[in-house]
Amino acid sequence: MPPTETVFLPTTVSIKKHMLKSFRTFDIWDLPGQINFTSSGYDTEGIFGPAGAIVWVLDAQDNYVESCARLFETVMSLQQTRPNIKFAVFIHKTDSISDDYREDTVRDIQQRITDDLDDAGLTNPPITFHSTSVYDISISEALSKVLQLLIPQLPTFEALINNIAVNCCFHKLYLIDTLTKLFIASDTSPGDTASYSLLCDWFDTLMDLADLYSTEGQSNESHAISERNNGDTSNDRNAVNGSALVKPGATMSTLAPPYITENDAHSFVKGSRGIDLYLREITVQLVLVGWSKQSGFAERKPLIDYNVSLFSKAIKDCLQVIAPDPPETEEAQSSDNS
Amino acid sequence: MTTMTTEAYSNRISVDTVNPASTSNANASPKTKHTSEDEYTAGKVKEAKQKILLMGKSGSGKSSMRNIIFSNFVAKDVRRLGATIDVERSKVKFLGNLVLNLWDCGGQDAFTENFLTSQKKFVFDHVGVLIYVFDIESRETERDLLTYIQIIKCLEQYSPHACVFCLVHKMDLVQVESRDAVFQERRALITQSSRSYAKRMVSYPTTIWDQSLYRAWGNIVNSLIPNMNVIEDYLRHLAESIEAQEVILFEQSTFLAVKHIRTARGDGSPYPDRLERLSHILKTFKHSMATFTESSSSSHQFEEFYISAPTFNLVISNFTSNTCVLCVFPPGDSEITCARINIGTARQEFFDFDMPVSSRQRSPLAERRSPEGHSRYNNSTLPYKTTSHESQQSIETVMSMDEPSTPRGG
């Protein structure tokens, strides 16, 4: 839905549950804001029991004092029963506030809430703050950070990505979810919104192009098989593609149906201003995207491809084990320091 | 191959002769029956400018479209534009030798009056193309048509061979269901008023908010390119060499499709409007790149762009100084390498063809274009072969295209 049309959305009056299917499934519960769910009479256990993180949306344009107080109550009551729940405060609708004032507002809210919690004896509350807007990429960035709170493998992912970013001269690397474009992990260099925004736009471009041509490729498959039966490799490839066609998952984004793990989709842009973009599919749900301004990056692409393929294998191993074993994956990674 | 191209060149000259627009400059060649080869080597054809008039009622959106297509504006930015005063002339370099001389004529009544009386000859002489923009929201349809008829009369007088395009603009304001009906009705009215141009007049429904604008302008610009069959020849050759489903040549700054080749392999695409969609998609991407690098959005943003997916490969590569080529071909890593080499080779040949005549004869100059790329690929072709024999032959075929170009220049 384009951001301009969100004004037509009705008020949420009951709990709405959404499911986010990625490499893991996340349940998102949309709670109506006018009801206090921590008060007695509600099934707090049922609502907050399975929750891993709570996103609290504050309207930065409105009078936020009341909302801050409500947040305070919620945090306090939940901290007693379930201290593992993490809070993320989205200071929302910041697009309409001018730049200098925005900083002030964010700082004010942040100060207010931490002070209150501090006074109540909660010195290190599990709260993060994000200033967001639906009109730019900031909302995706903030949601990504929230998702990352819920991923147990995150440190491993970050270690792997850092390793490859340093060794392959990537300026910034993201592991993004193909459906939502949220990033599951990134290298730990200071994040900047601009590169995330560019890479998301690029990913959109690729999706649009894939949309135009991927179906066509499928209809050609029979063509291709009948045409070239000489050469083992081409036969192999066709066989592999054939198996992709019967794979379920048609509801996924356009990349999903034809893309398979044995023959990862990849893309590359050699920019004319020294900026190169790199993308490689890891699984159906995850792609690695990054950019580099290292000169000679394009020439060294085969080497990078090789490193990324090892990285990809490490990530897949990681996803398969429920509790990741960091030493083992580190070892797998160390072999690609070529 | 050689004979075909020579024929095509002479064909192109004859197009220029018919079209008086090619000589709008005072220093341009006199309009005599010239022998094609002389004219060609003198390089005068290369300087030919096509005069394009952009006319229509005030506020109908002429300058908005011009800025979106040629100055890389984003659709929502055009609200900043003010009214056009008198005539805004701009020269847009399209393909190497084709300069579009675009006259954006202010639409207010006072200006129109002027154009039709005192500046009549100045404005309507040597017109290659007239683009007339109708505002679908206009309440005075009859009056608009009357102005249109007057302009058509003047055009008949000074440039009887001009092409006429009518754009019915702001179609986004019409409800989706009735769009087609409204457009057909308006088209009938316009055709009636087009007098002697009625048969040749082409009209398109457009809006700046989607790809319809690119479709209309793509077709308009295509009608101005004289040597289309030569381009087509080359592209088809390239398409066959890399076994492509589709090869599209884009102008680089506008991303309008210049030529589109679809081979038998690529029949049955479910998207008939993909050319415009590609223009739209690629231009959006270019904008993102430009924002990121903080550079002008009309400058080149990428040299090469490729996607390798299990069902298709797609390469977009800079071709000549202001075109880029998009190829879609069957999947596979070796195919993509092969295609890139072939595009590199074809680029060389195309570059010769795109150059002004004077320097065409000297091939060293042409080589400067791809300093390491060409020579290196020449030597390293063999390791990059695909497994199929056809591709191996096709590389050689493309490379042999280099040869005919040298004698042709002299």
Contacts of B269 (CB under 8 A, 6+ apart): A212, A213, A216, B246, B262
Residue A134 lies in a domain: yes
Region for B158 from its dihedrals, namely left if φ exceeds 0, alpha if ψ lies in -120 to 50, beta otherwise: alpha
- Long-range CB contacts (< 8 A, 24+ apart) of A222-226? A223/B265, A224/B330
Closest C-alpha among A37, A120, A23 to residue A320: A23
Residues B270 and B155 in one domain: no
B289: contact with A, CB 8 A cutoff: yes
Decide which of A104, A124, A149 is a domain's last residue: A149
Residue A244 lies in a domain: no
- Comparing CB atoms, the residue among A210, A220, A230 nearest residue B330 is A220
In DSSP terms, A16 is beta-bridged to: A30
B93 lies in which domain range?
A: 48-222
Write out the two tokens for B247. 């090869």
pLDDT of residue B97: 67
Q: Are B307 and A209 in contact (CB < 8 Å)?
A: yes
Q: Are B274 and A210 in contact (CB < 8 Å)?
A: no
Residues A141 and A158 in one domain: no
| Minimal CA separation from B13 to chain A, in Å | 35
pLDDT of residue B269: 65
Structural domain count, chain B: 2
Residue B389 phi, psi (nearest 5): -75, -30
Decide which of B194, B222, B250 is a domain's last residue: B222
| Minimal CA separation from A39 to chain B, in Å | 47
Q: Are A194 and B309 in contact (CB < 8 Å)?
A: no
**C-alpha distances in angstroms, A266 versus A248, A282, A300?**
21, 9, 15
Residues A279 and A261 in one domain: yes
Chain A residues with CB under 8 Å of B324 CB are none
pLDDT of residue B357: 43
In DSSP terms, B92 is beta-bridged to: B100
Mean pLDDT (whole number) for B34-61: 60
Residues B75 and B210 in one domain: yes
User: What ipTM, to 2 d.p.?
Assistant: 0.72
Q: Is the pLDDT of residue B57 over 70?
A: yes
The more confidently predicted of residues B11 and B176 is B176
Q: Are B331 and A194 in contact (CB < 8 Å)?
A: no
| Minimal CA separation from A274 to chain B, in Å | 9
The 8-class DSSP code of residue A9 comes to: P
Q: Is A14 exposed, middle or buried (0-12, 13-18, 19+ CB in 10 A)?
A: exposed
- Cβ–Cβ under 8 Å, residues B8 and B36: no
Residue B4 lies in a domain: no
Decide which of A104, A121, A149 is a domain's last residue: A149
Q: How confident is the model at residue B361 (pLDDT cuts 50, 70, 90)?
A: very low
Task: Please write the tens of the pLDDT for every residue from B214-256.
Answer: 888 888 888 777 777 778 888 888 888 888 888 888 888 788 8
- Cβ–Cβ under 8 Å, residues B169 and B210: no
Pairs of CB atoms within 8 A across A/B:
135
**Residue A209 to residue B246: CA distance in whole angstroms:** 13
Q: Are A265 and B314 in contact (CB < 8 Å)?
A: no
Residues A194 and A265 in one domain: yes
Residues B342 and B253 in one domain: yes
Decide which of B222, B248, B278 is a domain's last residue: B222
Weakest mean pLDDT among A298-307, B72-81, B324-333: B72-81
Distance of CA B339 to the CA centre of its chain: 24
pLDDT of residue A33: 75
Structural domain count, chain A: 2
- Comparing CB atoms, the residue among B274, B288, B387 nearest residue A202 is B288
Weakest mean pLDDT among A75-89, B170-184, B258-272: B258-272
Helix axes B333-354, B371-379, angle to 10 degrees: 130
B264: contact with A, CB 8 A cutoff: no
Residues B202 and B263 in one domain: no
Q: How confident is the model at residue B8 (pLDDT cuts 50, 70, 90)?
A: very low
Chain A residues with CB under 8 Å of B271 CB are 212
Task: Please write the tens of the pLDDT for every residue from B110-126.
Answer: 888 888 888 888 888 88
Decide which of A104, A122, A149 is a domain's last residue: A149
- Cβ–Cβ under 8 Å, residues B184 and B229: no
Residues A34 and A129 in one domain: yes
B373: contact with A, CB 8 A cutoff: no
Residue B5 lies in a domain: no
- Tokens 């202010």 correspond to B106
| Highest mean pLDDT (candidates A321-325, B326-330, B359-363) | B326-330
Region for A5 from its dihedrals, namely left if φ exceeds 0, alpha if ψ lies in -120 to 50, beta otherwise: alpha
Q: How confident is the model at residue B41 (pLDDT cuts 50, 70, 90)?
A: very low
A202 lies in which domain range?
A: 154-218+250-334
B192: contact with A, CB 8 A cutoff: no
Q: Are B289 and A271 in contact (CB < 8 Å)?
A: yes
Q: Which of A213, A227, A243, A293 to mutate to test the interface with B (most CBs of B within 10 A)?
A: A213
Residues B318 and B375 in one domain: yes
Residues B178 and B245 in one domain: no
Q: Are B307 and A265 in contact (CB < 8 Å)?
A: yes
Residues B175 and B258 in one domain: no
**Which residue from B minimizes the CA distance to A207?**
B281
pLDDT mean across residues, chain B? 71
pLDDT of residue B404: 37
SS (H, E, C) chain B: CHHHHHHHHHHHHHHHHHCHHHHCCCCCCCCCCCCHHHHHHHCCHHHCEEEEEEEECCCCCHHHHHHHHHCCCCHHHHHHCCCCCCEEEEEEECCCCCEEEEEEECCCHHHHHHHHCCCHHHHHCCCCEEEEEEECCCCCHHHHHHHHHHHHHHHHHHCCCCEEEEEEECHHHCCHHHHHHHHHHHHHHHHHHCHHHCCCCEEEECCCCCCHHHHHHHHHHHCCCCCHHHHHHHHHHHHHHCCCCEEEEEECCCCCEEEEEECHHHCCCCCCCHHHHHHHHHHHHHHHHHHHHCCCCCCCCEEEEEEECCCCEEEEEECCCCEEEEEEECCCHHHHHHHHHHHHHHHHHHHHHHCCHHHHCCHHHHHCCCHHHHHHHHHCCHHHCCCCHHHHHHHHHHHHCHHHHHHHHC
DSSP-derived 3-state class of residue A172:
strand
- Comparing CB atoms, the residue among A216, A218, A260 nearest residue B266 is A216
Write out the two tokens for B392. 């191996």
Residue B67 lies in a domain: yes
β-pair type (A266-271, B302-308): antiparallel
pLDDT of residue A98: 81
CATH number at residue A50: 3.40.50.300
Q: How confident is the model at residue B267 (pLDDT cuts 50, 70, 90)?
A: low
Q: Which of A135, A240, A272, A299 to mutate to test the interface with B (most CBs of B within 10 A)?
A: A272
Residues B233 and B84 in one domain: no
Weakest mean pLDDT among B133-147, B179-193, B390-404: B390-404
DSSP-derived 3-state class of residue A121:
coil
**Residue B382 to residue A234: CA distance in whole angstroms:** 18
- Cβ–Cβ under 8 Å, residues A264 and A257: no
Output the furthest CA–CA distance in chain B (Å, rounded). 69
B296: contact with A, CB 8 A cutoff: no
- Comparing CB atoms, the residue among A216, A233, A260 nearest residue B312 is A216
Residues B247 and B206 in one domain: no
| Minimal CA separation from B224 to chain A, in Å | 28
**Residue A297 to residue A169: CA distance in whole angstroms:** 8
pLDDT of residue A229: 30
* Run means of pLDDT, 10 residues per run, chain A, 338 residues: 77 79 76 73 73 84 83 83 84 82 86 87 82 85 86 87 89 88 85 86 88 60 32 30 30 36 74 86 86 85 87 85 41 30
Q: Is the pLDDT of residue B386 over 50?
A: no
Q: How confident is the model at residue B379 (pLDDT cuts 50, 70, 90)?
A: very low
Contacts of B119 (CB under 8 A, 6+ apart): none
Q: Are A220 and B291 in contact (CB < 8 Å)?
A: no
- Comparing CB atoms, the residue among A233, A265, A270 nearest residue B303 is A270
**Which residue from B minimizes the CA distance to A219?**
B268
Q: First vs last Cα of chain B: how many Å apart?
A: 17
CATH number at residue B199: 3.40.50.300
CATH number at residue B368: 3.30.450.190
| Minimal CA separation from B331 to chain A, in Å | 8
B270: contact with A, CB 8 A cutoff: yes
